[in-house]
Structure 1
Amino acid sequence: MPAGKNKPIVVIAGELNVDIILSGEDVVPEWNREKMIDTFDVVLGSSSAITACALASLGADVRFVSVVGADDFGTFAIAELERMGVDIANVTRLAAVKTGVTLSFSTPSDRGLVTYPGSIPLLTPAYISESLLRQADHLHFGSYYLQDNMRPHWKTLFQQLRKLGVSTSFDTGWDVRNEWDCEGISGLLAYTDLFIPSEEEALHIFASSSLSEAIGKLPAAAGTVVIKRGSKGAMLRTPDGLVVAAEPYRVSPIDTTGAGDCFNAGLITAYLNGSRGEELLRYANACGALSTLGVGGTGNLPTKEAVEQMQTEALA
């Protein structure tokens, strides 16, 4: 971040949708049977949007670029972004399009997702202005496999950002088509500062049976690769091949929805503040852990104060 600048400007170019979270000990549907759940919540969804809100909560100046439908869910999603301090000037509403919706079947230990894409794949480079990019310190996107109209263009965009001196990051999310596009991911990594898949995603992308095998298949030109491991913490591989791991913070989770996205926000925040190695991972781990103490991805957003308290208590 340039000297004298109060807040880093982070541009998030991504999907925007609503999550409907069904919570309980047993939320898996069964054909021709009815089950009762503990509760449900309608909250802001999407990996990109949750990361944006967590970044704003951690003190960044966040500019969100996306498209939604001109419907009630679109109105709700935009209002939630604005309420949580994210700049929405670059969010476009499209007529005759439904805003995407994800049903999240959430237990205290894990979750399963069912998504109606709607507006989710409709973002294109035309919505991302060069003037916005020139203001940015960092650009992040989530849901590589869901953003169909952007997927062919990320590499060109990241090349442009590297020339502008803007750092970059992305999170793949799950590939619902089970294709994983290793070639496309590997090509993009040459221009990426932070690549942030989960362990299971990394194993699929690089067709590996173990994490060490996947790390061994990473392109040599990649930036820092950070692998989220849930209750096992996280690890990273630096551009020069050094592998570093960090243990998780122990909490009693209420809902794991969005924990990985808040991890992303913590990682980006710490990276822009100059942290590297284990220090970088521990800050991100704290943000992910804090997220699980509320319902939905934005139910308990990390703050600098909460992260500091969690890290202090862990040392006590």
Structure 2
Amino acid sequence: MRAANDCGHTVVVVGELNVDIIISGEDVVPEWNREKTIDQFQVVLGSSSAITACALSCLGLDVRFVSVVGGDDFGAFCKDELKRMGVNVEHVVSLNGVQTGVTLSFSTPSDRGLLTYPGSIPLLSPSYVPDTLLNEASHLHFGSYYLQDGMRAHWPQLFGKAHGLGISTSFDTGWDVRKMWDRQGIELLLAHTDLFIPSEEEILHIYDSAQLSEAFAKLPETACTVAVKQGSRGAALRKPDKKVLSAKPCRVTPVDTTGAGDCFNAGIIYGYLHGYADEQLLRFGNACGALSTQGVGGTGKLPTVQEAARLLAQD
């Protein structure tokens, strides 16, 4: 599935790993003491960080993954799937006696709901990120800020070290299951971040805002480029000079929205590393996210540069 390697850029992704058990259909909401049939059931590679890594590999970048999984079948499955999609897993560690994380995804053509068992996800710590690996990187990314308990306090130091080495940085928060949103921690990290890529709902919660313009106004002076996913309404970009741009979504009929935001992340990172800016950057991210919806699961349909270009040419 991997495209020809773009040898000019190596992306290190430090992230959570889990399997997604996807239950698909028009009506997938469980009812107590009732039974329903569904259209489809799959076990696939999950996690925001992993899906973004696989999409970056499919776009042609050299991707190295750092993570912790359990010494179980699901952990082996995650590593095998990453390898199959061209991601280097030399720094994915298997721990005996630990269960790999699992997410149950209840997916319809228009939206999804998630239930996650964290398992090994909170066990990743800075000790698993060797300096030798950072020395090979041109970009550092992670997803799921709120799930990675072992890393949360250490991201500013790691990103600061990356910036000191001339490495660009990005992150996606994901949903805060504790509903605390940790604005202070996010802002400490933004000082060392080049690309902040939340969803609209996430940034509205972080900044306790009713609309996106209000959240943008509350960003600190140190804020970087902020690319906000808006689902069926496309995406918005807030530049460091506070200028705000938007781009409409690409026109596709979704099969499954799982992983669309993570593939958008990959498109934004790829575009940034290749000098895309403003509307061009947003539209490429939108195209990558839209292509993802054409398959089931986060890695069921990964974007390529050629497919993204063809989709954008149709608009």
Query: What TM-score range do you get, normalising by the shorter chain?
Result: over 0.9
SS in 2 for 1:135: coil
Which residue number in structure 1 is paired with residue 291 of structure 2? 290
Q: How does 1:12-161 map to 2 (within 5 A)?
A: 12-161=13-162
Report the equivalent of 2:163: 162
Q: C-alpha root-mean-square deviation of aligned residues, in Å?
A: 0.7
| Distance across 2 between alignment mates of 1:129 and 1:242 | 37
Match of 1:266 in 2: 267
State the Cα distance separating 1:7 from its structure 2 match. 3.4
Amino acid at match of 1:178: K
1:109-165: CA deviation from partner (whole Å, max 9, x where unpaired): 000000000011111000000010011000000000000000000000111111110
Match of 1:176 in 2: 177
Query: Could you tell me how far 1:6 is from its partner in structure 2?
Result: 2.8
C-alpha distance in structure 1 between counterparts of 2:238 and 2:116, whole Å: 32
Question: 1:42-93 CA deviation, whole Å, 9 max, x = no partner?
Answer: 0000000000000000000000000000100001110000000000000000
Does 1:281 find its partner at 2:260? no
What letter matches 2:76 in structure 1? T
Unmatched 5+ stretches in structure 1: none
Unaligned segments of structure 2, at least 5 residues: 1-5
CA distance in 1, matches of 2:182, 2:7: 38
Residue 229 (str. 1) matches residue 230 (str. 2): yes
**Kept in 2: contact 1:7–1:59 (CA 8 A):** no
Task: Look up the SS of the partner of 1:235 in the other structure.
Answer: strand
Q: How many angstroms apart in 2 are the aligned matches of 1:182 and 1:30? A: 36
Moved over 4 A (4+): none
| Deviation of the 1:305 alpha carbon | 1.1
**Equivalences, count:** 310
- TM-score of the aligned structures, taking structure 2 as reference length: 0.98
Q: Do the aligned partners of 1:18 and 1:46 also contact (CA within 8 Å) in 2?
A: yes
CA distance in 1, matches of 2:251, 2:19: 29
The CA distance in 1 between the partners of 2:279 and 2:314, in whole Å, is 18
Partner Cα separation in structure 2 for residue 280 and residue 259 of structure 1: 16
Q: How big is the shift at 1:311? A: 1.2
